[in-house]
Amino acid sequence: MNDQMMKAVLFDRYGGPEELYVGRVPRPEPAHGEVLVKVHAFSVNGGELSARAGRIRLLTGRKFPQRVGLDFTGEVAALGAGVTRLAAGDRVWGVMGRTSGFGSAAEYVSVPAERVGLVPDGLDLVEAASLPVATTAVTALRDKAGLRPGERLLVRGAAGGVGNAAVQLGRVYGAEVTGLARAANLDFVRGLGAHEAVDHRSVRPADLGRFDVILDTVGTDLRTFRGLLNPGGRMVAIAFDLEKVVSSLGYIAASAVHGRSRVRFFSGNPTQALLDDLGRHVIDKELSPAVDTVFSLEETAAAHRALEAGGVQGKYVVSVVDVDEGVGAASGDQPRSR
């Protein structure tokens, strides 16, 4: 039995960011087919904010302490039996996966090797932590929507983690991209490559025109935005209305079956192949990391608070390693901004 301990971000009851604290838990050992990763950084995602607040407690249950952290970058520390593709010291990134749940906000994480990919050479591991979530944008636009050159694409939440990647990839796939975001983020969205950036608070949806594909990262007013689709249009939703969970999910389910313009809903669960696709986009300079601010592990609660406040440009990233440990460490006691 492994009696080595590590730091991890925990919470003992549902609530606000103030419930988060850095505690000590047993360091995992890699099982058969798993890889142990020394975590260098992870990003903060909307889904874990909802989990921490107890909005999805039917899924997360009432057993505490619970953990946070969905994605990660780091270095391979050890291999479980049967893993031959990777080697100790490899720089990797990945996502915990649906069966593993949250938990990457820690010094080490053990995950199935199929959930891990190699980070492109030269990419800083802290900056790289903003990108695993971009696999959701790849799946949404390429695989679910089948976005084609010349089509008109609308991205709701265009300045966020998935949204900023979708804007960049929409251009790569040859679409005409419109991004909806806060007024303060419009220049950022244009800099990502959007043909048009619109303040979502200053325009009625009906005035935006018609679209062939809509990627919705917000989850509210899905019926309204679905009405903007051209005949044969496709809408992909990666969020639902947390204030109206039952009706929102019911609408998504019904629209996936009925009507010409269906809503596709999915949650990201990338494999090595998809992470490798992501790496190729980075190597080809088609996708760049977008890091708003870097926090230390002890500042994870502040990162959650910042994401809840809104206005993020890209991703909030938490650096786990200390300054003297090398790759991609945050410096000082203050968050590092772009």
Enter the pTM of the model.
Answer: 0.88
What is the model's pLDDT at position 241? 43
Q: Is 164 a residue whose pLDDT tops 90? A: yes
Residue with tokens 């992909």: 236
What is the model's pLDDT at position 232? 92
What is the model's pLDDT at position 327? 40
Per the CB < 8 A criterion, the answer to whether 192 and 180 are in contact is: no
Domain boundaries, the chain: 5-131+290-337, 134-265
> Does 3.40.50.720 match the CATH number of domain 134-265?
yes
User: Comparing 5-131+290-337 with 134-265, is the CATH topology the same?
Assistant: no
Indicate the residue type of 116: V
* pLDDT tens, residue by residue, 45-94: 998 999 999 988 888 889 999 999 999 999 999 999 999 999 999 999 99
What is the model's pLDDT at position 88? 97
What is the model's pLDDT at position 279? 97
- Whole-number percent of the chain with pLDDT over 90: 79
Please give the backbone phi and psi of residue 216, each rounded to the nearest 5 degrees, phi first: -110, 115
Of the candidates 43, 103, 40, 44, the one whose C-alpha atom is nearest the C-alpha of residue 76 is: 40
More confident residue, 203 or 248: 203
What is the model's pLDDT at position 332? 34
Hey, is 23 helix, strand or coil? strand
Residue with tokens 């938490």: 318
Hey, is 42 helix, strand or coil? strand
What is the model's pLDDT at position 314? 97
Label residue 10 by pLDDT band (50, 70, 90). Answer: very high
Q: Is 328 a residue whose pLDDT tops 90? A: no
What is the model's pLDDT at position 262? 56
C-alpha torsion sign, points 309, 68, 323, 5? positive
Please give the backbone phi and psi of residue 81, each rounded to the nearest 5 degrees, phi first: -60, 140
* pLDDT tens, residue by residue, 235-281: 999 984 444 444 334 444 444 444 445 556 555 678 999 999 999 99
Residue with tokens 């080809």: 284
* pLDDT tens, residue by residue, 217-248: 998 889 999 999 999 999 999 984 444 444 33
- Return mean pLDDT, the chain: 89
| Residue 283: half-sphere exposure toward Cβ, Cα within 13 Å | 10
What is the model's pLDDT at position 255? 47
Radius of gyration (Cα) for the chain, nearest Å? 20
State mean pLDDT over 121-139: 96
Beta pairing class for 66-67 and 152-156: unpaired
State mean pLDDT over 2-10: 90
Record: fold of 5-131+290-337: Quinone Oxidoreductase; Chain A, domain 1 (3.90.180)
Could you give the CA distance from residue 303 to residue 53 in angstroms, rounded to a whole number?
15
Label residue 303 by pLDDT band (50, 70, 90). Answer: very high
State mean pLDDT over 185-194: 98
What is the model's pLDDT at position 72? 98
Under 8 Å CB-to-CB from 240, ≥6 apart: which residues? 219, 222, 248, 249, 252, 265
